[in-house]
Structure 1
Amino acid sequence: MLRRNICATLVAASLVAVPVERAQANDAAALLGGALLGGIIVNEVHKNKQRQRARTTTQRTTRRTYGVSSAQRAQNRQVQSALNYFGYNVGVVDGSIGRKTRAGVARYQADMGYSPDGYLDDYERDFLLNSYSRAQVSSHVPPYNTIVATQGQQALLRTYRNEQLGIPTQGVQQAAAVAPAPVAPAPAPAPAPVPQQVVAPAPAPAPAPAPVAPAPAQPQAARADTAALPSFTFGQVNRSANDHCGQINALTAANGGVTTPGRVTDAEFALNEQFCLARNHAMSESNAIAATIPNMTEGQIEGQCNGLAQVIAPQLQQLGAGNPDQVASATRGVLEKSGQPMDQLTSGGKVCLGIGYRTDNAQMALASAVLLVAAGQGGYGEIVSHHMREGIGTGRASAQMAGAWMQKALGALDTGGDMVLGQSPDRVAVLREASGGGASAAALPAFPSGN
């Protein structure tokens, strides 16, 4: 009995020590080491089955299920029906959005060039449902019936998307060109007039012009010097990574695929393609990690990530002037003061990076990337470089700082750093070539001297 009481006392003391230690941390560390990172730590503990059983005996969680409105369920059925029609099989149409439906939505988004996060925004939903309604009446008429017969339903949806982007469908264009225009009846020809000989009178001699006295010069009124260049006060435009990548993905689809190594003709566009590929990978990785965090809703996790962005905000202000090493060093100092293990901070940064892109919060995404670089993941400097180049979340673009962060990312890979963000050899080769560091970089000619 005494031994059991002692054990119970030690367990209770250990549970009290953690919140006390966090309460003593400063505000920045409290924001950074809050519920999100604590949830990740708890997830690691759950891997130990013995501790999991002990925890479930001392804590009880009550799950509440909230009903879905009939209108929402009806809309969900429409979405599921449309996904099934276009070949993104989601199974039974029941109005319940589960993992299978999310997977179908992600496939649809990837095929259309959207962010494949499994969550439809209003534009993506409207396009899907409108295309589904349009297919009911147009899929059986030329040239759409030929597209369906030869390429399938997904090709029909891609055709609708291309037409929305202003890319004409060949069969429709030809049919419009072949269709004869109505011809109005030609009017009867009017009778030709009979020419009559007309004798023109001899012209009278023109009188000599009288000399005109010069008019006295009138005093010219002085004009007020009010001309000036227009001056307006413009508000800062916050660029959207989602809108930016939506345009890039559409152009990539129209070009037939992403730029490959050795074929970089437009360096700016190639780098933007790599940015959007890295963004998609970040969202996928974030979803995978967030799914393992117990007892936290998406809103709670997003709230923790907003706190992270506030903590790193002072370091983000240094991006335009400080070099990457200085920014990374200052940020690492903040991480070390938080008292959290570096590997847990890294996991939290990956979660918040993807959530930043999914919610179109450029500041959150940029802060997460800077955190990851400071935590030793130098490859994430690629994200900072893309943001600096395009001015997304930075206020203004800086080609010089973008180049410095890209060199830091590539340098980390050269020194044995981990490949992150899907940095395959092909992706890295395109980054080097488009950044001016590839083998095909231009150089001044050198000729041997005849002396």
Structure 2
Amino acid sequence: MLKRNLCASLMAASVIVFPVERAQADRGAALLGGALLGGIIVNEINKNKRRRTVSSGSSAAYSAQRAQNRQVQTALNYFGYNAGTVDGSLGSRSRAAISQYQAQMGFNPDGGLDDYERDFLLGSHQRAMASSHVAPYNQIVAQQGPAGLLRTYRNEQLGISTTTAVQPAPAPAPAPAPVPVATAPAPQPMPAPTPAPAATPAPTEPVSVTTRSDNASLPSFTFGQADRSVSQHCSEINVLTAANGGITAPGRVTDSEFALNEQFCLARTHAMAESNSITATIPNLTEAQIEQQCQGLAQVIKPQLSALPTARPDMVISDASAVLQGSGQPMAQLISGGKVCLGVGYRTDNAEMALASAVLLSAAGQLGYGEAVSHHMREGFGTAQADAAKSGAWMSLALNAVTSTAGAAVMGQSQDRVAVLQDASQGSASGGASAGLPVFPAPSGN
């Protein structure tokens, strides 16, 4: 009894000596006010951060992985990518099928599925099971096979509408019966008017043939320039990529501008997927609330966006870095918020928000995001369109960071993607593959 009481006393003392500390939320940034960087997003991220620590020897995890692999193989086979036997083991044949699927969808064909690519494949398969027999999808299957459904679902996700089935024309309505028309009585002749006495004409003043109303004038309108849509741009690029049989591979860059646009849209897809994975861990904020905070980020970084057309990348980054340092927020917190808003900007087609997020991330030390800044400047999304030298400086900054620093790759910057970016950037800086002195056939001498 004495021993039991002694243990209980020791436990109670330990509770008194070591109280449980309650986490406190970071204070809002003085400079950034109520914007995204106020700390609320990342605090929720930290509280709800998912930890994927699955033991390799866990039989339950192994079984779940095999089951997911079988779903992947089944979906690949359905859409015409031969993954072989559905056994739950992703061997060389399955990897080749995955690469084929990725290439035709405009993803990076590395043979390994990220969460976005896997979810899209499996979700499309489930959708095909439910919709392949109804119009207009049954017509697509009849004309293009199951692979046509996958392309159609991708296009719908990109905002390209699917042509609906042609409905039979309605039967013409019967012609109305003729309505009898009453014959009007013949008009009676009018008596001839009595001629009035001739009046002496008054003197007249000459009339100008150019006389016009005082209110008449040529139309004068003020036309505003509509912002370019990144979403529409990437929809067009992805359609052309699919028509070409897949994304441009390293060593096969023939159109530098098109290859850079492919990489831009691929980076955009990765940015949205990363943003979605982070926001999924924030249960206490709605999408509208997150978007509102991201609007604040765009306003804070707006002075640096205005400097992009004229200032060097290091100057813009230095100015933006001073803003981040002055906010008083931890750098990791700022980076997480920037990743959230980069995807939100692309998802809501707000080019300025996405560009501001990429500048913020670059200023926070994530120089690989300079690729996104370069794409925006080259195409004029969220800023004035810049020449190849200005946009190329940001691309060089990003590529140097990725190739010289381990772990610096962002937005899916794999080795293949970096190789294409390097080839295309060199071609773009020199004016493209077709640039050079004119070449004419030698004269025949006649």
Q: TM-score, normalised by structure 1?
A: 0.57
Name structure 2 gaps, 5 residues minimum: 1-11, 54-74, 80-100, 108-115, 121-128, 161-209, 211-218, 438-446
2:424 pairs with one of 411, 419, 434: 434
- Answer whether contact 2:320 2:363 (CA < 8 A) is retained: yes
Pairing 1:134–2:135 present: yes
Q: Deviations over 1:110-129 (max 9, x none)?
A: 9777997989xxxxxxxx99
Pick closer, same or farther for the CA change 1:279–1:368 going to 2, 3 Å: same
Q: Secondary structure at the match of 1:317?
A: helix
Match of 2:148 in 1: 155
- Between 1:295-304 and 1:244-253, the stretch displaced more is 295-304
Pairing 1:26–2:26 present: no
Pick closer, same or farther for the CA change 1:118–1:246 going to 2, 3 Å: farther
Distance 1:154 1:414 in 2: 36
Pick closer, same or farther for the CA change 1:160–1:336 going to 2, 3 Å: closer
Structure (1/2) with the larger helix percentage: 1
Q: Secondary structure at the match of 2:311?
A: coil
Match of 1:423 in 2: 413
- Answer whether contact 1:283 1:354 (CA < 8 A) is retained: yes
Match of 2:278 in 1: 289
Q: Deviations over 1:166-197 (max 9, x none)?
A: xxxxxxxxxxxxxxxxxxxxxxxxxxxxxxxx
Q: Deviations over 1:224-251 (max 9, x none)?
A: xxxxxx9864312211111000000000
Pick closer, same or farther for the CA change 1:306–1:382 going to 2, 3 Å: same
Letter in 2 for 1:364: M
Pick closer, same or farther for the CA change 1:435–1:34 going to 2, 3 Å: same
Distance 1:160 1:345 in 2: 35
Pick closer, same or farther for the CA change 1:344–1:129 going to 2, 3 Å: same
Q: Secondary structure at the match of 1:275?
A: helix
Shift of 1:289: 2.0
1:398 pairs with one of 386, 402, 418: 386
Pairing 1:411–2:412 present: no
Pick closer, same or farther for the CA change 1:280–1:110 going to 2, 3 Å: farther
Shift of 1:326: 0.7
Distance 2:18 2:223 in 1: 66
Match of 2:8 in 1: none
Match of 2:269 in 1: 280
Q: Deviations over 1:10-48 (max 9, x none)?
A: 957xx6xx56x726x424155222311222233459999
- Answer whether contact 2:256 2:424 (CA < 8 A) is retained: yes
Distance 1:231 1:413 in 2: 52
Distance 1:161 1:282 in 2: 17
Q: TM-score, normalised by structure 2?
A: 0.57
Letter in 2 for 1:377: Q
Letter in 1 for 2:380: G
Letter in 2 for 1:38: N
Name structure 1 gaps, 5 residues minimum: 49-83, 89-107, 120-127, 166-222, 224-229, 445-451
Q: Secondary structure at the match of 1:369?
A: helix
Q: Secondary structure at the match of 1:348?
A: helix
Letter in 2 for 1:305: C
Letter in 2 for 1:280: T
Percent of counterpart pairs with the same letter? 56
RMSD: 4.8
Runs (4+) of structure 1 exceeding 6 A deviation are 1-8, 45-48, 108-119, 128-132, 159-162, 437-444
- Answer whether contact 1:117 1:283 (CA < 8 A) is retained: no
Shift of 1:323: 1.0
Pick closer, same or farther for the CA change 1:40–1:340 going to 2, 3 Å: farther
Pick closer, same or farther for the CA change 1:156–1:280 going to 2, 3 Å: closer
Pairing 1:324–2:325 present: no
- Answer whether contact 2:131 2:137 (CA < 8 A) is retained: no
